[in-house]
Chains A and B, each alone.
Chain A
Amino acid sequence: DVQLVESGGGLVKPGGSLRLSCAASGFTFSSYSMNWVRQAPGKGLEWVSSITSHSNYIYYADSVKGRFTISRDNADNSLYLQMNSLRVEDTAIYYCARAPSPRILTGEMDVWGKGTTVTVSS
């Protein structure tokens, strides 16, 4: 089965750091662009970052640019999100999501993980 499983969420103080991971299985990970999307409690979806299949192109939302870093390890079928200088407003469920093609920034995301919860609070 095609599957994405996020991990690494937790409670962190403002200004702290976390590294999220997304383990992919059931498909050729290296053939697909990948995305991170978040959802604050009771709020809508917010795109965070995207990366092409071989990391040639990377994009970030303005709200996280300079603080978050997306990366991937195709040999390990894994996607990562390094989050630094965390703020209270970064509190959300973080989903990794696959783009259904190598193209990036289409907004198309056909496979989603169940998400990992990040809480930023003092």
Chain B
Amino acid sequence: SSELTQDPAVSVALGQTVRITCQGDSLRSFYVSWYQQKPGQAPLLVFYGKNNRPSGIPDRLSGSSSGNTASLTITGAQAEDEADYYCNSRDSSGSHVVFGGGTKLTVL
């Protein structure tokens, strides 16, 4: 079982806003990173740290955190945002990295 919990699936209407969440005790102490993975492709880092978006990632993707919950918000979802999204962070022991189980985002 994962120490980071994500909803297995979320859907959003084209152009609407969706929030993908990641819960875990370690998030009270460590920053989360977010990854987008499309079928047959390697994961892609889309947001990390306190407020970092890698170059080339559209600014409609943003991250936030409060307490034991981190969120990835997609404002004005596009068809190309349909993918699996994973969060990760250091675990509570501090000596491992842990991934959430992933959220499959469907854009309707």
Query: Which residues of A does B touch, CB under 8 Å?
Result: 35, 37, 44-47, 50, 59, 61-62, 95, 97, 100, 105-110, 112-115
| B63 contacts partner chain A, Cβ-Cβ < 8 Å | no
| B44 contacts partner chain A, Cβ-Cβ < 8 Å | yes
A112:B42 contact, CB within 8 angstroms:
yes
Q: Which residues of B contact A50 (CB under 8 A)?
A: 97
Q: How far is the CB of B26 from chain A (nearest CB, A)?
A: 10
State in angstroms the CA–CA spacing of A34 and B30 once bound together: 19
**With contacts defined as CB atoms under 8 Å apart, how many contacts are there between chain A and chain B in the complex?**
71
Other-chain residue from B37, B96, B101 in contact with A47 (beta carbon distance below 8 A): B96
Which chain A residue has the least Cβ–Cβ distance from B6? A44
Q: Which residues of A contact B44 (CB under 8 A)?
A: 112
Other CB < 8 Å A-B pairs besides A35-B97, A95-B43, A106-B48, 17 of them? A44-B2, A44-B84, A45-B86, A45-B99, A46-B99, A47-B88, A50-B97, A95-B42, A100-B48, A105-B90, A105-B96, A106-B33, A106-B90, A107-B90, A107-B98, A110-B48, A113-B42
Q: Is the interface of A mostly helix, strand, loop or mixed?
A: loop
| B15 contacts partner chain A, Cβ-Cβ < 8 Å | no
Q: How far is the CB of A24 from chain B (nearest CB, A)?
A: 15
Q: Which residues of A contact B30 (CB under 8 A)?
A: 106-107
Size bracket of the B interface:
20 to 34
Question: Which interface residue of B30, B37, B96, B98 has the most chain A CB atoms within 10 A?
Answer: B96
B32:A107 contact, CB within 8 angstroms:
yes
- 16 A-B pairs (CB sep. < 8 Å): A45-B35, A45-B88, A50-B97, A59-B97, A106-B30, A106-B48, A107-B30, A107-B33, A107-B88, A107-B97, A108-B45, A108-B48, A109-B35, A109-B43, A109-B45, A115-B42
Q: How far is the CB of B89 from chain A (nearest CB, A)?
A: 5
